[in-house]
Amino acid sequence: MQNLKVAVIGVGYLGRFHAQKYASLPGIDLVGVVDPDQTQAELVAAECNCKAFTDYKELVTQVNAVSIVVPTSLHHRVAGDFLGAGVDVLLEKPMTVTLEEADDLIALAKAKNLILQIGHLERFNPALMAMKPSLTTPVFIESNRIATFKPRGVDVDVVLDLMIHDIDIILNIIDSPIKTIHTVGAPVATANTDIANARLIFESGATANVTVSRVSRTNERKMRIFQPGSYISVDFGKKKVMTILLSEELLESGMPKQVVDLRSFESGDALLAEIEAFVSHVKERTKPAVSGVEGRRALEVALQVMTQIKEHQQLDLFKGFFQKPS
């Protein structure tokens, strides 16, 4: 079998890692990397022993598959051009800016029988994957994803930047439509929402309480899942899973005896696993776990959360605060 010809479109902070992963894989010919910043494109190309481009259209007819790691506002246009040319696409999250754009890409990929995988990286976190066999019937999920401030990513709301990761995971865990959403959020350091909370109540009765912040002094990515007879705690950052099972044996207090299982997965590389999965889907022509359909589903909920937060915000409080001095 001939090597798979791939390219990475957008090689800033994250795209550079995409290129490095492809360059390390057997059976892959990294044809080129693209970035409007020619210096950055040449730097990454030199690292990965491939060609540098500043216009992605030069590569549309030269590759079988691409990773697209450009600003979200460009996702629809760039992915549409490659899908239209018959190229399989790994598209970073969030999938698109609007549901209409997402629907267009899904329809295009389906019409041409192409792979469209959305880059929800946490799906490949070894701790999350190890937790799945312990899931039964989750009834309450508490999720916290807080991060120190970083300039990259602030062009979008924190819901699209961070919360969409947890929305995707939760929708994958709880097999039930959402009944109601309750939200709060506010801008703190940027003109967009920087800290937010959403309570997702499902028709099954399950509830998920999701908190995100990108203006914290520490980094933390944790999720706790409660279900009848057990409790699961996942630390995405440290790649640890703790499962507590309640036995029939009672302690003197009347509380069931707890059986604790703690596992660590320090060596996992989620991005490499994601890209390897994409390459496998391209070669085998199989459906990704996070296809355009799943990417759209997470985007739909994220947009609902954003809309509700904006409706509740007292925007007059922030007028003038984020305006640049003349």
Is 123-269+302-317 the same fold as 4-120+271-290? Answer: no
Would residue 46 be called left, alpha or beta, if left means φ above 0 and alpha means ψ between -120 and 50 degrees? Answer: alpha
Which CATH architecture group holds 123-269+302-317?
Answer: 2-Layer Sandwich (3.30)
Residues 126 and 239: beta-carbon distance below 8 Å: yes
Each domain of the chain, given as residue ranges in start order, spans 4-120+271-290, 123-269+302-317
Burial class of residue 175, CB neighbours in 10 A (0-12, 13-18, 19+): exposed
Structure tokens given for 250: 């009672």
Q: What is the DSSP string of 46-110?
A: HHHTSEEES-GGGGTTT-SEEEE-S-GGGHHHHHHHHHHTT-EEEEESS--SSHHHHHHHHHHHH
List the structure tokens of 185. Answer: 């959020």
Please tell me the pTM assigned to this model: 0.90
**Which two three-digit tokens encode residue 141?**
């999920």
Q: CATH number of the domain at 4-120+271-290, please?
A: 3.40.50.720
Per residue of the chain (326 residues), give pLDDT as tens.
689 999 999 999 999 999 999 999 999 999 999 999 999 999 999 999 999 999 999 999 999 999 999 999 999 999 999 999 999 999 999 999 999 999 999 999 999 999 999 999 999 988 888 888 899 999 999 999 999 998 776 778 899 999 999 999 999 999 999 999 999 999 998 888 999 999 999 999 999 999 999 999 999 999 999 999 999 999 988 889 999 998 877 777 777 888 888 888 776 789 999 999 999 999 999 999 999 999 999 999 999 999 999 887 765 555 555 554 44
